[in-house]
Amino acid sequence: MTDLQVVILAAGKGTRMKSTLPKVLHPLAGKSLLGHVVDAAKALSASRIAVVYGHGGEAVPQAFATSGATFVIQEPQLGTGDAVRKALPVLAASGVTLVLYGDVPLIRASTIRKVAEAARDALCVLTVVLDDPTGYGRIVRDAAGAVKAIVEEKDADAPTKAIREINTGIIALPSAWMHDWIQSLRNDNAQGEYYLTDVIGMAAAVGRPIRTVNPDTEWEVMGVNSRSQLAQLERVHQREVAENLMAGGVTLADPERIDVRGTLACERDVFIDVGCVFEGNVTIGEGAVIGPYCVVKNTSIAAGSKIQAYSHFEDAKVGPDARIGPYARLRPGTELDEDVHVGNFVEIKASRLGKGSKANHLAYLGDSEIGRNVNVGAGTITCNYDGANKYKTIIEDDAFIGSDTQLVAPVRVGKGATLGAGTTLTKDAPAGELTISRAKQTTLSGWKRPVKAPKNS
Q: Which residue number, 84 or 381, has a Cβ lying nearer to ligand UD1?
A: 84
How far is Cα 158 from Cα 341, in angstroms, rounded to an integer?
A: 70
Question: Is residue 361 flagged as an active site residue?
Answer: yes
Q: Which residue number, 29 or 52, has a Cβ lying nearer to ligand UD1?
A: 52
How far is Cα 344 from Cα 309, in angstroms, rounded to an integer?
A: 10
For the bound state, the minimum distance from the C-beta of residue 42 to ligand UD1, rounded and expressed in Å, comes to 18
For the bound state, the minimum distance from the C-beta of residue 230 to ligand UD1, rounded and expressed in Å, comes to 14
What mask, x for binding ligand UD1 by CB under 6 A, covers residues 49 to 88?
Answer: ---x---------------------x--xxxx-xx-----
Q: Which of 332, 348, 277 is nearest to 310 (CA)?
A: 277
Q: Which residue number, 77 or 344, has a Cβ lying nearer to ligand UD1?
A: 77
What mask, x for binding ligand UD1 by CB under 6 A, covers residues 196 to 225?
Answer: xx-------------------------x--
Query: CA quadruple 144, 148, 149, 155: dihedral positive or negative?
Result: negative
Among 179, 237, 312, 361, the active-site one is: 361
In contact, 185 and 85? CB cutoff 8 Å = yes
Q: Which residue number, 197 or 375, has a Cβ lying nearer to ligand UD1?
A: 197
What mask, x for binding ligand UD1 by CB under 6 A, covers residues 155 to 194?
Answer: -----------xxxx-------------------------
In contact, 404 and 420? CB cutoff 8 Å = no
| Helix H or strand E segment including 452 | none
Looking at beta carbons, which residue is closest to ligand UD1?
137
Options 7-15, 329-337, 415-423, 437-445: segment touching ligand UD1 (CB under 6 A): 7-15
Give exposure, 367-386, as e/b (b: 16+ Cβ within 10 Å). bbbbbbbbbbbbbbbbbbee
| Helix H or strand E segment including 348 | strand 341-349
What mask, x for binding ligand UD1 by CB under 6 A, covers residues 223 to 242?
Answer: x-------------------
Output phi, psi for 43, to 5 deg: -65, -20
How far is Cα 319 from Cα 300, in angstroms, rounded to an integer?
A: 8
For the bound state, the minimum distance from the C-beta of residue 130 to ligand UD1, rounded and expressed in Å, comes to 10
For the bound state, the minimum distance from the C-beta of residue 80 to ligand UD1, rounded and expressed in Å, comes to 3
Tell me which residues in 126-145 interact with ligand UD1 (CB under 6 A).
136-137
In contact, 315 and 332? CB cutoff 8 Å = yes
Which CA distances in Å does 308 have to 68, 271, 274, 282, 342?
42, 12, 12, 17, 10
What mask, x for binding ligand UD1 by CB under 6 A, covers residues 244 to 283?
Answer: ----------------------------------------
Q: How many CB atoms lie within 10 A of CB 183?
A: 9
How far is Cα 267 from Cα 249, in angstroms, rounded to an integer?
A: 7
Q: Which residue number, 150 or 252, has a Cβ lying nearer to ligand UD1?
A: 150
Tell me which residues in 85-114 interact with ligand UD1 (CB under 6 A).
101-103
Please name the amino acid found at residue 107.
I
Q: Which residue number, 223 or 275, has a Cβ lying nearer to ligand UD1?
A: 223
Q: Which residue number, 199 or 370, has a Cβ lying nearer to ligand UD1?
A: 199
Q: Which residue number, 125 or 316, has a Cβ lying nearer to ligand UD1?
A: 125
| Pairing assessment for the beta strands 70-73 and 4-10 based on DSSP bridges | unpaired
Q: Which of 85, 94, 96, 54 is nearest to 71 (CA)?
A: 54
For the bound state, the minimum distance from the C-beta of residue 229 to ligand UD1, rounded and expressed in Å, comes to 12
For every residue of 48-77, DSSP letters joined together read EEEEEE-SSTTHHHHHTTTS--EEEE-SS-
Please name the amino acid found at residue 205.
A
For the bound state, the minimum distance from the C-beta of residue 58 to ligand UD1, rounded and expressed in Å, comes to 16
Q: Which of 10, 307, 318, 362 binds ligand UD1 (CB under 6 A)?
A: 10
Q: How many CB atoms lie within 10 A of CB 124?
A: 25
Taking CB under 6 A as the rule, does residue 152 contact ligand UD1?
yes
In contact, 307 and 291? CB cutoff 8 Å = yes
Q: Which residue number, 193 or 398, has a Cβ lying nearer to ligand UD1?
A: 193
Output phi, psi for 37, to 5 deg: -70, -45
Q: Which of 4, 7, 9, 284 binds ligand UD1 (CB under 6 A)?
A: 9
How far is Cα 317 from Cα 351, in angstroms, rounded to an integer?
A: 10
How far is Cα 337 from Cα 320, in angstroms, rounded to an integer?
A: 7
Interface with ligand UD1 (CB under 6 A), residue total: 27
Q: Which of 4, 11, 38, 213 binds ligand UD1 (CB under 6 A)?
A: 11
Q: Which of 38, 41, 149, 150 binds ligand UD1 (CB under 6 A)?
A: 150
Residues that bind ligand UD1 (CB under 6 A): 9-12, 52, 74, 77-80, 82-83, 101-103, 136-137, 150, 152, 166-169, 195-197, 223
Tell me the catalytic residues.
Answer: 361
